[in-house]
Structures are given as C-alpha cells and as structure tokens.
A and B are shown apart, each in its own frame.
Chain A
C-alpha cells in the first residue's frame, strides 16, 4: 500500500508532476541527442581521417618522421608490405615514397607533401580513387600524372589537365624539378588531403628522386574488429629496425578526442542531471511542505521514519520511471531518424569542412548509453528525493499536526 500511496501521491498534483516528468523527458532527449550529435561529429571526423588519410597503422624508418629526409627509407619496404598483407586482421597495406617540396602553377606556388603511391593498394587502403571529384584516378594522362586536393587546386588556380611543377631535393640533396599534369582533383573534409598532399605514381617520384624503388611509409588498414596494437607488436617484433605505430600514436590528438568523447557523455549527463535534481528537489519539497499535516498524522499514528522516507523516495522514483521510458523512446526515435537521414549542416559546410568535418552528420550512440542514462535518471531521482525526504522525517508530529 506504501507504493500505492506513493503512486497516487504522484498524481495528486497532476500539473506539477507532468512538469517534472516533462523536464525528465526533455533532459533525457537532450542528453541522448547531444551525445549522439557529438559522437556523430567525432566518429565521422575520426573515420574520415583514419580511413582516408592516416590509416590504422603506419610504418616508418624510426628517423624518417623527425625531418622527413628521403634517406630514411624502410629497407625492403615493398616486401614487408606484401608480407603484412597476408597477416590476420589486415585488410590492406600500401607503400608510399614521400618527399616535401613545392608545387607551382603559372599563378602561384605552395608547399606540399609529395606522395608517390602504389595505385592499386592506395585505393584499397585510403579509397583515394573514391575521393576523386574531377578528372580520373590516374587514367588518361600517361606522362607524370598528379592528383591534388580541391583546396590546393583552388589556391594554385589549376584544373584537370593543368600543368604544375614539383620542386624538391633528390636522394643526394640536389634540387630537382618535374613537370606534372593534373589528372584528378580529390575532394575531402580532411585538411591534409584537400590542401597539403600531392599524389603521384610511385615510379615517377622515385625516378626523379633517384632512389630506386625505396619507400618511406607503409600504411596498413585493418579489419574493424582487429587488434591494431597486436599487429603493431607483431610487426615491431618481426622487423625490429622499423617503427610501426597505431593511429593513436600517429595522431595523438585523435586519441585525445576519442577519450574526450567518453568523458563528454558524463560531463553532459552531469550538467543535465544537476538541472534535473533541482527541478525534482523543488517539486518534491513542495509536495512535502503542503502535506506537512498529513505526514505528521502518519507519524503520529505509527508510520515510522524509514517508511516515510521510503514513501517520498518511491514517489520521486515513480516520477523518474514515468519520464525515463518516454525520454528514452523520444531520444531513440530522434537518433534513429537522423542516423538514417543525417543532420544536414550544409549551411555551415564551408566552416565545418575547413575544420575537417563532414556537412552531413549522422548521430550515433552506443546501446550502453541508454543503460547509463537510465541508471543516471534513477540516481538523479534518488538524489533529488533525499533532501525532501529528510525534511519529511525531521517533522515532529505534534508540530506538524497543528500546522495550518
């Protein structure tokens, strides 16, 4: 009957209870959608960078990344890449010859990282072919074709089939140059791809560099469930002279973002739950204060303090239990809808893309978030009920009975 009284008390002041339930619904919805939205941003951003640029694992000569000097190549890089391709959990591996240099058009010049790529394996690892927005993926121009990003093309004022000149130091430190013709322009929200890289055939670049078929980087893409760290450990054990690193080491800022997302959920949840706690405390305190006399009577006739405390607590939990499923459902439905249709942020696409974000956002949350939120609401309801319940048990029946 205690539960029955508590349940009926919830509906005693219908309007007030509905306001609290409404705030719980809105709070949960905001929490789920906010988390999904942020997650969509981050997951999309990270996926873009990992899938199109840095890959899951990168392998270099340990000295190479200090100043990107062409002399620090991976010994037998192509053979090693071929071996890695056969490992369990590896979906693809590609080799790159890399050199820093200048790209010039008749109008302008810019600093770039020139990447001599293995066309077939690069397409498997970074899907570079799918990013080509204009022109082709190294088809149609036989002599020194080059692919550049859309921003770089815009900066240089070049189009497909325009001629550009690459200038860089060769393997012996001499300045060398080569004329290339733009075969394709790639469009990506990744800033390096869009602005900083110039892709050539590996053979064209190594010929100009005069370093044979040497490579400076092996990029490895793994299966989604594969243990990247285990593959890195295996590589470093098998080829101790090289340095293999997961994306967490290659791009520590992404690892920080990944961790930040985890804690962001709790930050957001704490903020929303604190707001909810105040709403609940306010409502339940009013409910207790206007029932002073009744509570005094209950204690006078023999209802002990624990029961009074539990009754107030249960009333509050009931409020949460009514609001939580509705909030979860509304939040789930909204996320489901936008996960399929995406949130169109094209109005802000220029700004977003300049930061490497996609203009169509697909909110996403892990199922465990629903569970965490449910627990969070119950905990919030309990915390919100503590003060009013404490107020109730501190009542002296003899005083409460004579309150007007």
Chain B
C-alpha cells in the first residue's frame, strides 16, 4: 500500500529575480514500511521535495497524495491537522521544546491529538525506552547530547502513530557514534513496527542503511534503487 504518491511535481520559486526551478517533474511512490533515503548534492531539491511530501509547502504543479488523501491544494488550516494525524517529522536541528522535559516533548504531540493522559504517559515512556533514553525522561533536552536529543525527536515523531516519518538530514549535526546509534534505532523501528521512514540526506552512513535510495539532481530523480 502506498503512503506517498507524488505525480509530476514541480516547484518554482519566483521570489528571486530569476525564477528558480527547484523540482522538475518528480514522480515518486513510497510504500508502507519502506526505509527510503532521498540523496543528492546540496541544492538538488531534497528539502523542497520533503517539504511538499510533508504538506509543509505546496507544489507549483503536480499532485501529492498522502495516505490516500490528495493534499495538493488542501488549505493550510486543514493541512496542520492532517500533518498532526498522518505525518511524523524529524528535523536536522532536533527542534525540541526546551522548557519541557524529554517525556513531555514526546507527550506533547499526543496532547495535540487529544489522547488521554494515561495513554500519553504509557506511550511516551514506551517510546523513550525503545530509544534507550527512558532514564532521561524527566530531564530537559539541553541536558542531553545531540544524538540523545535526536532520539527524543524520533520518539516524538513516532508518538502520533503517523503513516510515515519524514526526516530532513537527521544526522547532519551528529557525530559518528550518535549517527550509528540513531540509525540502528530507526532501522529497528522500521523492521519491528513496520514504520515508514523517508530521509533526505547526503550522509553516506544513512545511505548505507537505506533499503531504497532515490537520487536527485537538479530537481529531477536520476536514479531509484531498491536494495534487499
């Protein structure tokens, strides 16, 4: 079952003196349970594509279907709720809420989904345990290393039980050990819970772990390779 279906996506930024064509006719379908890396050099359109797939930005042309829903022209107010229920996000800079504890950061997304306190507590602790940082539950993000913070961010992304998780350069700020740990963690989630991950990266270590590698160049897919 496909969780993402993008057809003929283009994105042109017209704010600059010379229009920039960031994406030129992207066709991409991601199936449930995939562990996909979108790779390519800087400026090839990886982040733009992820933003469009995640409903954070609208394509100039083409259609995007996420979990069976066409989000191409969906209003921003509806998209916010759609993202809450459907998509998990992991950002390069972690973007945790500094005034909350790590557990509260994970819980927060479930609170927005109006889940009960008992369910929030249980799932937040489960996820932090799976990420190996349950002992840091009551600490603030600033008390953790970058790798640990990114694991909290992954736990937060999983907390909402999304159809898939979009991760924009998740290892860009991490050292090699943290990167390896984080990738192992995400690979395990993918295998054990069939969680769908789509990364943008140019980190070879992430590329090595990916089951599918989509390569972009100048806003076009130049290769799409699936590994066993």
Nearest CB on B from A288, distance (A):
15
Nearest CB on A from B124, distance (A):
12
Question: In the bound complex, do residue B100 and residue A301 qualify as a contact, i.e. CB atoms below 8 Å apart?
Answer: no
The segment from A5-13, A276-284, A349-357 found at the interface with B is A5-13
Report the Cα distance A303→B111, complex, angstroms: 10
Q: Identify the closest chain B residue to A307 (Cβ).
A: B112
Report the Cα distance A398→B112, complex, angstroms: 20
Identify which of A12, A297, A305, A401 contacts B80 (C-beta below 8 A). A305
Nearest CB on B from A318, distance (A):
13
The segment from B22-30, B33-41, B85-93 found at the interface with A is B85-93
B81 interfacial contact with A, CB 8 Å: yes
Residues 283-305 of A contacting B (Cβ, < 8 Å) = 293-294, 297-305
Question: In the bound complex, do residue A293 and residue B93 qualify as a contact, i.e. CB atoms below 8 Å apart?
Answer: yes
Nearest CB on A from B143, distance (A):
15
Residues 93-147 of B contacting A (Cβ, < 8 Å) = 93, 95, 97-100, 104, 107-109, 111-113
Question: In the bound complex, do residue B95 and residue A293 qualify as a contact, i.e. CB atoms below 8 Å apart?
Answer: yes
CB-defined interface of B44-64 with A at 8 Å, one 1/0 digit per residue? 000000010010110000000
B16 interfacial contact with A, CB 8 Å: no
Nearest CB on B from A10, distance (A):
9
Question: In the bound complex, do residue B56 and residue A398 qualify as a contact, i.e. CB atoms below 8 Å apart?
Answer: yes
Question: In the bound complex, do residue B111 and residue A300 qualify as a contact, i.e. CB atoms below 8 Å apart?
Answer: no
Specify which chain B residues have a CB less than 8 angstroms from the CB of A299 in the assembled complex: 80
Query: How many residues on the B side are at the interface (Cβ–Cβ under 8 A)?
Result: 27
B228 interfacial contact with A, CB 8 Å: no
Specify which chain B residues have a CB less than 8 angstroms from the CB of A307 in the assembled complex: 112
A1 interfacial contact with B, CB 8 Å: yes
Nearest CB on A from B218, distance (A):
21
A36 interfacial contact with B, CB 8 Å: no
Question: In the bound complex, do residue B99 and residue A301 qualify as a contact, i.e. CB atoms below 8 Å apart?
Answer: no
Report the Cα distance A398→B53, complex, angstroms: 12
Question: In the bound complex, do residue A303 and residue B99 qualify as a contact, i.e. CB atoms below 8 Å apart?
Answer: no
Q: Identify the closest chain B residue to A1 (Cβ).
A: B111
Residues 372-404 of A contacting B (Cβ, < 8 Å) = 397-398, 401
New A-B contacts (14) at CB < 8 Å, excluding given A1-B107, A303-B84? A2-B111, A4-B100, A5-B99, A5-B100, A12-B99, A293-B93, A293-B95, A300-B54, A301-B83, A301-B112, A302-B81, A304-B81, A305-B80, A398-B51
A-B contact pairs, 20 of them (CB 8 A): A5-B100, A9-B99, A12-B98, A293-B93, A293-B95, A294-B95, A297-B91, A297-B95, A300-B89, A301-B109, A301-B112, A302-B84, A303-B112, A304-B77, A305-B77, A307-B112, A397-B56, A398-B56, A401-B56, A401-B95
